[in-house]
Amino acid sequence: MSTSPANAGPAPGPRSPRDRHPYVASTAVLATMHDKLPLIAPAMAAAVGLDVRDVHVDTDQLGTFTGDVARRGTPWETAVAKARMGMNAAGISLGLASEGSIGPPPGLAFVIAARELVVLVDNERGIIVGETAIGYDIITIASDITPDDDIESLLQRGGFPEHGMIVRPAAGPLAPMHKGIHDRSSLDEAIRTCAVVSPNGRAHVETDLRAHHCPSRRPIIAAAADRLAQRLAACCPTCASPGWGIVRVELGVPCQHCRRPVQLPNADVYGCAACTFEQTLSRPESDGADPGRCEWCNP
Ligand SMILES: [Zn+2]
Ligand SMILES: [Zn+2]
């Protein structure tokens, strides 16, 4: 699995010793219906001493992968809304949640990537901190089939039965929709009942992308949680708030020949989740760009 390089650099802010971090012995609540606690809690405990427990709230009302409940907000807005649902349900001021976006990345039609976001909402300090990880190893299938089709190789590609399946009619209304199927006899039965009510006689079979049914998604969520834990461990050099990390990248490496700026990353800007303090750290390659990349020297 690969993760995105953005925000991966070491933070220049002081890393609080674990026993002095403001989250040591605090409790955060994780809003999940999909068994995400083992993916997120260990990183938080190890990096900042935060105790995470889960609360079962209906996060599906904020949108589902299958589209039976439409997603209205951005992944960030949805994750923050989930975290707040958990905080409200548990009555505590620290909350965590995750949100995944699965599909072809921009400009790549034949690749499926999972972009996983994990956020922490801290009402006491008034901060929201998030980190993402991108993985290309997620296993997904989607196909319209008749009950007579041989689907052995399709299921093998889809990692069935470890990966759960969703079945619905291939045409007409989405109902009935059978979710979280992990055994062959239930799958065959669902395909039969959905094909019968579908105007084209076919059933649509696809991977159930919910985290507790999609094992190939789980390491990507854990990677995002790990990056968030590392970011929370770094505290602001001026106000000591958790969540010090890269907030943007500055472009403009001077061309080695003409010294004009080339549109390559020149510096990482680190910022605080709570105050406006920022520090700019030059990248090692910023002592000069190859004139071959310069639009003046090599137009
Ligand atoms: Zn140049
Ligand atoms: Zn600060």
In a domain, 166, yes or no: yes
Residues 131 and 42 in one domain: yes
CATH number of the domain residue 183 falls in: 3.30.1490
Residues 275 and 147 in one domain: no
Residues 122 and 232 in one domain: yes
Residues 124 and 218 in one domain: yes
Q: Does pLDDT of 26 surpass 70?
A: yes
Beta pairing class for 51-55 and 94-103: unpaired
**Separation of CA 288 and ligand 1 centre (Å):** 10
Q: Does pLDDT of 5 surpass 50?
A: no
In a domain, 219, yes or no: yes
For the chain, how many structural domains are there in total?
3
In a domain, 158, yes or no: yes
In a domain, 1, yes or no: no
More confident residue, 253 or 285: 253
In a domain, 299, yes or no: no
Residues 121 and 159 in one domain: no
Residues 194 and 220 in one domain: no
**Separation of CA 284 and ligand 2 centre (Å):** 26
Residues 152 and 118 in one domain: no
**Separation of CA 269 and ligand 2 centre (Å):** 14
More confident residue, 229 or 9: 229
- Single pTM value for the model: 0.87
Average pLDDT in the chain: 90
Residues 285 and 217 in one domain: no
**Separation of CA 296 and ligand 1 centre (Å):** 5
In a domain, 49, yes or no: yes
State mean pLDDT over 208-226.
Answer: 96
Give the model's pLDDT for residue 191: 97
**Separation of CA 254 and ligand 2 centre (Å):** 31
Question: By residue range, what is the domain housing residue 170?
Answer: 142-207
**Separation of CA 247 and ligand 2 centre (Å):** 13
Q: Does pLDDT of 285 surpass 80?
A: no
Residues 51 and 118 in one domain: yes
State mean pLDDT over 35-58.
Answer: 95
User: pLDDT confidence of 142, banded at 50, 70, 90?
Assistant: very high
In a domain, 11, yes or no: no
User: In this prediction, what percent of the chain has a pLDDT beyond 90?
Assistant: 76
Ligand nearest 242 Cα, by number? 2
Residues 155 and 229 in one domain: no
**Separation of CA 243 and ligand 2 centre (Å):** 9
Ligand nearest 259 Cα, by number? 1
Residues 64 and 174 in one domain: no
Residues 81 and 37 in one domain: yes
